[in-house]
Amino acid sequence: MAAILPQGKTQFLDGNGAPLALGKVWFYALGTTTLKATYQDINLTTPNVNPVLLDANGAAFIWGSGQYSMVVQDASGVQVYAGDTQAPISTSADIASALGYTPATAAQGAKADAALSGIYLIPMTTGGTASAYTATPSTAVGSYANGQMYILDPHVDCAAGATLSISGLPAAPIKTQANGVLTNVLAGEILQGQPVNVVYSSGNFIITNNDKFAVVSSLQASQVANLAAEAVLTTGTSTAYAVTSPLKTLVPGVEVAILPHVTSGSTPTLAVNSLGAVPIRYNNAGTLTAVPQGALKINAPAILIYDASGAWVMKNPMWAIKGDVTSSGRLVDAAALGAGLQGGALNIGTPVATTSGTAVTFSGIPAWAKRIVVNFSQVVNASNLLVQLGSGGIVTTGYSSTGMAVTGSNATAATSSTAGMIVYGGTFTGRMVFESIGSNKWVCSHTGMVDASNGRFGGGSVALSGAVDSLTITSSSGTGAFSAGLVNIMWE
């Protein structure tokens, strides 16, 4: 994005306020000694020399893009002063330009500006301390509201129990969530230079950039390389597995995926790096129980989630689903372990075609469900899609949700709803994820596509009077008819 630095023909002054005749201005990438180009024209086609040579009036045409550090010298090369400058990004038009989009209409740009009042898409470099972060959006936030989303670029690793203040508002604790339980961040759980997404909800900032199926804390990629998609071959023995990983600390909710080099013996443990041997358990009707002999099969990937109790908990233990091992290491019917799977197994509903009608309802969601995923495949409706939770009946009020669209070369457009979690219109393929944060409060996010050049995303929150027992997919108008596609849900 081209921006003026700070005006087309810029005049520089000496320490006495006189024009810096025949002076020089060096431009570098922000905070470095790497030279960065500036230009003589707004289209950034004719570069200046570096340093830029000032005329007899101490002036030159200087255009640029992004952030710079600059050093100003007199004609003899003596430094006069140094400082930083930046091309501003403050409106939807600036954001669109930065992303390579051009607003189609003024009305669409205004609509995007209104939607962006609670959604901050540009990472904000934090200030403050490791235990008390601060962040200042270009447009000040007047008050917190549930569903506000921010992207932070931490300037320092966090301390335990770190807080965040936006635009000078009162600090609120930053928390992660695992199995529906909110937990204060631990030391090092937020890393310098690793962007973190947070959503404000009922007095807390909740880390949300976790796109895995498990409800986990948002450790960054530099901390955890061996997540669900990358099983790591174990070493050690059948009762004392070991793996090597960039993991720095054991944080409740983090996942590892292992590829056992040998079938497990009884009461096995797992050691990650030098963090110590940790017992491997499974969820037995709410009680974490040592896995039996043979639970982990040679060359069969297993996903483990670290629990606050200090154990690795098996996710979706296939040995229990297949019913091929007992608690004593022998064969058993899976029904004997059925109750113990409720907190760990991924349950899948029955797909429903969305080729007619105005609503699709999934019932029978168990009260213990803490995460619900709605999957859409080329779903077409005459109106915007709307997803509503049920608790003794479908809940049609109290939502705070926004659906965004990035369409071709146009700027972001948006719509919002208090009647359900809304998806901006179009043929939608993607997923919507609901996660419980406790006390029957749920946060939601969705991502997906319409076609190769059209995307959709958004989020929201809702507080219910009881446990979720059903979910309905309909339209924002309530009368929009489905004409194509397929939907299904999963829960755990």
pLDDT of residue 392: 93
54: tokens are 């000032």
How many whole angstroms separate alpha carbon 424 and alpha carbon 383? 9
pLDDT of residue 247: 66
pLDDT of residue 211: 35
421 within 8 A of 457, measured Cβ to Cβ: no
pLDDT of residue 258: 86
Summarised one tens digit per residue, pLDDT across range 47-56 is 999 999 998 8
The full 3-state SS of the chain, as one line of letters, equals: CCEEEEEEEEECECCCCCECCCCEEEEEECCCCCECCCECCCCCCCECCCCEECCCCCEEEEEECCEEEEEEECCCCCEEEEEEEECCCCCHHHHHHHCCCCCCCHHHHHHHHHHHHHECCCCEECEECCCEEEECCCCCCCCCCCCCEEEEECCCCCCCCCEEEECCCCCEEEEEEECCEEEECCCCCCCCCCCEEEEEECCEEEECCCCCCCCCCCCCCCCCCCCCCCCEECEECCCEEEECCCCCCCCCCCEEEEECCCCCCCCCEEEECCCCEEEEEEEECCEEEECCCCCCCCCCCEEEEEECCCEEEEECCHHHHHCCCCCCCCCCCHHHHHHHHCCCCCEECCCEECCCCCCEEEECCCCCCCEEEEEEEEEEECCCEEEEEECCCECCCCCEEEEEEEECCCCCEEEEECCCEEECCCCEEEEEEEEEEECCEEEEEEEEEEECCEEEEEEEEEECCCCCCEEEEEECCCCCCEEEEEEEEEEC
pLDDT of residue 411: 54
Q: Which amino acid is at 263?
A: T
pLDDT of residue 425: 81
Residues of the chain with pLDDT under 70: 1-8, 86-122, 178-180, 209-230, 246-248, 285, 316-346, 408-412
Alpha-carbon distances, residue 353 vs 378, 394, 444, 474 (angstroms): 10, 21, 23, 13
How many whole angstroms separate alpha carbon 482 and alpha carbon 378? 11
pLDDT of residue 128: 96
How many whole angstroms separate alpha carbon 302 and alpha carbon 299? 9
pTM above 0.85, yes or no: no
Which structural domains are found in the chain, ordered by start?
3-86 (2.170.14.10), 119-207 (no CATH), 232-341 (no CATH), 347-491 (2.60.120)
pLDDT of residue 315: 74
Q: Which neighbouring-strand residues pair with 278? A: 270
412 within 8 A of 404, measured Cβ to Cβ: yes
pLDDT of residue 422: 92
Phi, psi of 441 (to 5 degrees): -100, 140
207: tokens are 């880390």
20 within 8 A of 12, measured Cβ to Cβ: yes
Given CA atoms 137, 445, 380, 463 in this order, what sign does their dihedral have?
Answer: negative
